[in-house]
Each structure stands twice: as structure tokens, then as C-alpha cells.
Chains A and B, each alone.
Chain A
């Protein structure tokens, strides 16, 4: 691959668990209560150093959305998804936001994370 363009982030940030590329500032977390198949996921207002896949319609618990998968630009690991369009007007707030799966990202401050990631039970209807 060529000379990778990597944006630096100042301050506490979340990084790719596999290659340590900075992804998003801790300040940009909107919600910590999203859920995905493997467990928790965080919603961010902005992420950097990612590439996106093809847009596709996906049926989620909260309804049908047009989403794109999000990949780390360095190692290519799938990190989560981003909402391109929400068909339900209650879900419009999600458009343009990113959801990254908790077990694929590492927080800067050292925190012991268990690899299985998930904490059972969700109080949030959002499930992918």
C-alpha cells in the first residue's frame, strides 16, 4: 500500500485495536448504549482514518436504514458502520454519524477490556 495518510488526534482518543491508528476523540462520543452482535458499540459524531464500503439497505431493530460499513484505513479491519440515510423520521438524527463496535477499538487510557466484549442484555432497542 502507498504512503498512508493518517490524521493525528489531540487528546484522549479511541484507536484501532489491531493497528493502533487513531479513530475518534473521546469527546466525540454521542452515545455509549448502542449494541451490535458482539456487544456494545459507541456512536461518534466524527471519526477519522477510515474508509467506507458500499452503501446498502439494512434492516435493524430500529428500522430500515441505508448504511455503509466502516473499515480501518491501515489494517482494513471492519470497525462498525455509518448511517447514510434513515427512513424513519425518528431515526434521522443518526444520519452522518458513526457507530464503532466497542471490542474493535481501544481507549487511550489503559483500561482492562475483556475480549468477549459483550455485556448481556440491552436496554436500547437499537440492534444490528
Chain B
């Protein structure tokens, strides 16, 4: 690919006349310039030859552009000598001479000259020229003010800037700074002055952004292109579940399946009946589960990933259908089916309050993000809001929620979601008192909200899971299939690094995992001996997943490598522990 093949040192080369210079098959320009005039030669040449010299296996990269962004990258890395040398050696200058002159004029403060040069740079768009001229003259205006040359500034404003002003607002703003300067005392004038006129390099940067990239190569363009490529690789990697820091430029990024939790690390057996729901706390240190045995359990997740029982929460007289963690993870709400909602203190396991309403039963629960209010769906289809003391503050009547519905609140407290009709989810905006609706074509069984509040994962009666975008316009984004659901409420969730995965329970006793972006089913985890009703992915540990099943157990799933470590540790212990375990704790 391109490049000067000659061994002759630069100084010996002869400066060739314009007409004789033609690209040889390698496309390199043979003459080596001394600064200045030969650069002009080069510039003219580049424009006159229809030289769409391309490099790269696909033939889409223009050589001139490629070299220019490399030169630019060298300069921004601070390698001025290398940058200049590359310009010389390749014969491809970073900027045309006109642009160089322009840049120098800006830095020198030669405003008049720069405005003139602006016209000869080769801009086609009249409005760009106008905006750039405006920026330059504005700088001139402010610098004159700083130097307290008020009369000159005024003259500039009247004669040069005024004809360029797109709106009278701009003119007014500039005039007001003129006025305030002459009025205000010049206290610490140099300090004040620095607040007015920006630095010249900054002006240059702003102009660079304004001018088209063909005239001035944008800053950091090479870095941007590389980042795009890395992002594409990461998005294409279906198993990607690790930190981006680990991406290398040497090879294309491709994770193996080993980054997805796939092995049972622990089986938790403290419930005496079916486990219907579970959820990790926001900080990933606790797990709460609820069961048909009318209790809920708070589990503690240790630093090395071991889960142990912390508190058993008894008191409900009905099966507990769901739990909700407060934003600070200090309190937990539990909901008995068509009964009451109880608030528990996580540290002590004490029941702090019981929320109930005469004559009706509560069906769902959720915290406001500030922890001051509790929301609950009621089996008369309304939604109630309670203060912590138990006093009902508000009640939204009408068809707001169904008996079987989940309740979700966005992390900014603005919107509340519940299933209001068989085939629709209601999104209530509390402040604006407005409503939006997601309409499905089948009966909805459950749903969950993504951490960034922008997506809803909706489980349908017909064994499909739909992903809806609710940020701005509501639209269906993806569908996930493969799991089994015929009779029960099966819940699914977002999870993994950047919530790039979808996990769901299934009536065939397996956990299902899909890649969120592509919709591809990437894992089915057998192990449970009953329907898996609910799954929760640890928000802080992308390699830990928990599942709740009709077999009365909870399984903690992790990576295969963790399982191997676990086995080694167990072997060591059974051997009397004489050899210190070489493996450290799990992440």
C-alpha cells in the first residue's frame, strides 16, 4: 500500500514541475518539499489530480484522508515533530496553506486578515462564512473591551458586526456587555477581563467545529473511528458480559459463553413451599424472596458471592406475592395476596408497619424513590398511596390495576406503571397527571422496568416476551421466545453488564437467557425440579443470577469458572485443608 519506496534521501530529490508529477502505481508523490512553496504545489496538485487514491482491502479508505487524520492524531498526542515529519514525508499536508494562514491569523489576533482569508479557504456555504466571521468579530469586540478600548469596540459593533447579526438578540447582548463595562467599576480588571474574551485557541477550536471537515480535519477523529469500531464489536458480541476496559485493539472482541452464568453455585432451601418471587437489592448485597408459605426471607450476599439467610419475615396470613426494596436498601416491602403490605427493617428483620385498607385487599407494592411514600395496587382496581406512618394520602380510582398486576415506579418517581386492562399497561405520570398506554395484542401476565427507566419487558400469555421502548414514543423493540408458560405468572428481568441480557423463568423448570440486542437465546439452565417462577440478576455482579421455583428452592447461578473454584476449595477442605487453596474468592 502506498508509501515512498525510494531510498534516496529527501534532500537529493528534485523539485519537479507541476505538470510532470503524476502518481506512480503506488500513488506516492516523489518530490520532497522544503517548507512553504512546495506545499502550495502539493495543495494544487491534490486538487488538480482526480486522485481518489484508496488503500485498504475494501478500497474504501482514501489515502489522503487516512494520512491526514493520522497526522492530526500525532499532533493531538503531542508528537509535533512526528506530525510535521509525516506531513513532509507523505507529501500530504494537514491543512492547505490558506487554512494555515487562517489559523495563524486567528492566533495572532489579525482579525481583519482572518476574515479575508476565510473567503479564500474554499467554503461553499455562505451561512458558514457568516457564522465564522461573526465568531471572529465577536472575539475582536470582546478583546477590545478587555483592553478598554470602548470606542473601538463600539465602532466594530456598529460597522462590522451589525450587518452579520442573524437576530437582534445577538446585537442586544453584545451592546449590553458594552454598557455594563462602561458602567461597572473596573475591579480587578484583568480577572474580569478573562471572563469576557475567550482564549484564542478556544476560538480556533470553535471555528474548527464550524468549518466543514474537508477544510479542517476535526479534532480526535482517529480516536472516534477506533471507538466506533470497538463499540460495534462489543455490540456484536452476544456473550459480552464483562467490563469494556478489557477490550484490546489487537484482536476483534469476542467473548466466550463462559461469561454468562450457567452453573448452579448454591441451592437455598429455607422456604417450605413454592417460591414465587425474588429480587436483589440495589447494592447487590441482599436478596429477598417471597413464597407461598406466607413468608419472605432476606438473604445476605457475602463479598465472595456466598448467600446466607439473614432474616425470615413472618406475619402475613396469605402467600407473599412480591417484595420491593427501598432505594437505600434499608427497608423492604412485602405484599400478601389480596391482603396487606408490610414494611420491614432490613438490618433487624422487624416489621415496622402493616398497611391495609378496610374491605379490600392489596395486590402489589412499591416505594417512592425518596422512601417517603408507599404505593400499592388494590383489588378494587385502584392504586393507593400511603405515607410511612400508614396514613393513606391519595387514591387513584378507576381501572388502574388488575388483581394479578405488577407495580413499577421509575427511579425518579415520576411515572407509575401497572397492568390496567387485560392487554394494556398504564403509565401514569404523577406530576403532569397524564397517562400513556402500551397496547398489546395478547393478554399480559407480568412486566418489569429496566434500570434506566426507558424500557419495559412484558410477559404475555402466549409464551412471548416483548421489549417496549417507553422513552418518548412508545414502540415495540424486540421479542423473545422459547420458554414455556401455560398456567402461571412467570417473571422475567433485565441483567448482566449494561443490562445486555434478558432472563426469564419457565414452566419447564429451566432458566432462559437471551441476548437483549439480537434476541438470540444463549442459555437454558436446567436444575430446578419445578416451574421457575421468577429470576433476578444481581445489579452489581453481572455474573450472578438467582431463580425461584415451585420446588421450594432458590438457586444461585454463576460462571463455570466459579464452579470449578468452588469444587477445588471443597476438595481441599475434605483433604484436611493441608494445602492452602490457591484460588482466591470469586469476584
Interface of A toward B, CB cutoff 8 Å: 1-8, 48, 51, 73
Report whether over half of chain A's contact residues are helix, strand or loop; otherwise say mixed: loop
Closest CB of chain B to A75's CB: distance in Å?
11
Q: Are A2 and B274 in touch, CB under 8 angstroms?
A: yes
Stretch at the interface among B409-417, B486-494, B562-570: B486-494
CA distance A39 to B316 in the complex (A): 45
What are 15 sample pairs from A and B whose C-beta atoms fall under 8 A apart? Answer: A1-B531, A1-B550, A2-B487, A2-B489, A2-B490, A2-B530, A2-B550, A3-B292, A3-B488, A3-B489, A4-B489, A8-B403, A8-B404, A48-B443, A73-B487
Beyond A3-B321, A4-B487, list 4 extra A-B contacts (CB 8 Å): A2-B490, A3-B488, A51-B487, A73-B487
Q: Quick check: is B207 within 8 A (CB to CB) of the other chain? A: no
Chain A residue at smallest Cβ distance from B292? A3
CA distance A6 to B422 in the complex (A): 10
Q: Are B443 and A1 in touch, CB under 8 angstroms?
A: no
Say whether, besides A1-B274, A2-B274, A2-B550, A7 and B422 are in contact (CB < 8 Å).
yes
> Which residues B472-496 have CB closer than 8 A to chain A?
486-490
Closest CB of chain B to A9's CB: distance in Å?
9
Say whether, besides A7-B422, A7-B443, A73-B487, A2 and B531 are in contact (CB < 8 Å).
yes
Closest CB of chain A to B176's CB: distance in Å?
65
Closest CB of chain B to A53's CB: distance in Å?
11
Q: Quick check: is B276 within 8 A (CB to CB) of the other chain? A: yes
Q: Quick check: is B203 within 8 A (CB to CB) of the other chain? A: no
Q: Name the A residues within 8 Å of B533 (CB-CB).
A: 2-3
Q: Quick check: is B538 within 8 A (CB to CB) of the other chain? A: no
Say whether, besides A51-B486, A51-B487, A5 and B461 are in contact (CB < 8 Å).
yes
> Which residues B492-534 have CB closer than 8 A to chain A?
507, 530-531, 533
Chain B residue at smallest Cβ distance from A74? B487
Q: Quick check: is B324 within 8 A (CB to CB) of the other chain? A: no
CA distance A68 to B17 in the complex (A): 90
Chain A residue at smallest Cβ distance from B550? A2
CA distance A109 to B489 in the complex (A): 29
Q: Are B443 and A3 in touch, CB under 8 angstroms?
A: no
> Which residues B267-293 have CB closer than 8 A to chain A?
274, 276, 292
CA distance A117 to B118 in the complex (A): 97
Number of interface residues of B (CB under 8 A): 22
Q: Are A1 and B422 in touch, CB under 8 angstroms?
A: no
Q: Are B422 and A4 in touch, CB under 8 angstroms?
A: no
Chain A residue at smallest Cβ distance from B274? A2
Q: Quick check: is B445 within 8 A (CB to CB) of the other chain? A: yes
Q: Are B404 and A6 in touch, CB under 8 angstroms?
A: yes
Chain B residue at smallest Cβ distance from A76? B487
Q: Quick check: is B103 within 8 A (CB to CB) of the other chain? A: no
Within 8 Å by CB of A5, from B319, B404, B530, B550, lies B404
Closest CB of chain B to A96's CB: distance in Å?
14
Closest CB of chain A to B510's CB: distance in Å?
14
Closest CB of chain A to B444's CB: distance in Å?
10
> Which residues B377-426 have CB closer than 8 A to chain A?
402-404, 422
Closest CB of chain B to A56's CB: distance in Å?
18
CA distance A73 to B422 in the complex (A): 17
Within 8 Å by CB of A2, from B276, B402, B422, B443, lies B276
Q: Are A5 and B402 in touch, CB under 8 angstroms?
A: no
Q: Are B488 and A5 in touch, CB under 8 angstroms?
A: yes
Q: Are A1 and B402 in touch, CB under 8 angstroms?
A: no
A-B CB proximity, top 8 nearest: A2-B488, A3-B489, A5-B489, A3-B276, A73-B487, A2-B531, A2-B533, A5-B445
Closest CB of chain B to A19's CB: distance in Å?
13
CA distance A73 to B488 in the complex (A): 9
CA distance A26 to B23 in the complex (A): 86
Closest CB of chain A to B231's CB: distance in Å?
40
Closest CB of chain A to B314's CB: distance in Å?
19
CA distance A2 to B445 in the complex (A): 13
Q: Name the A residues within 8 Å of B319 (CB-CB).
A: 3
Among A2, A4, A5, max chain B CB count under 10 A is at: A2
CA distance A7 to B487 in the complex (A): 11
Q: Name the B residues within 8 Å of A3 (CB-CB).
A: 274, 276, 292, 319, 321, 488-489, 533
Within 8 Å by CB of A4, from B443, B488, B530, lies B488
Q: Name the A residues within 8 Å of B402 (CB-CB).
A: 8
Q: Name the A residues within 8 Å of B507 (CB-CB).
A: 2
CA distance A6 to B274 in the complex (A): 18
Closest CB of chain B to A41's CB: distance in Å?
23
Chain B residue at smallest Cβ distance from A6? B404
Q: Are A1 and B403 in touch, CB under 8 angstroms?
A: no
CA distance A2 to B486 in the complex (A): 11
CA distance A48 to B422 in the complex (A): 11
Q: Name the A residues within 8 Å of B274 (CB-CB).
A: 1-3
CA distance A51 to B276 in the complex (A): 21
Q: Name the B residues within 8 Å of A4 (CB-CB).
A: 487-489
Closest CB of chain A to B351's CB: distance in Å?
23
Q: Name the A residues within 8 Å of B445 (CB-CB).
A: 5
Q: Name the A residues within 8 Å of B422 (CB-CB).
A: 7
Closest CB of chain A to B461's CB: distance in Å?
7
Closest CB of chain A to B248's CB: distance in Å?
45
Closest CB of chain A to B316's CB: distance in Å?
14
CA distance A56 to B326 in the complex (A): 52
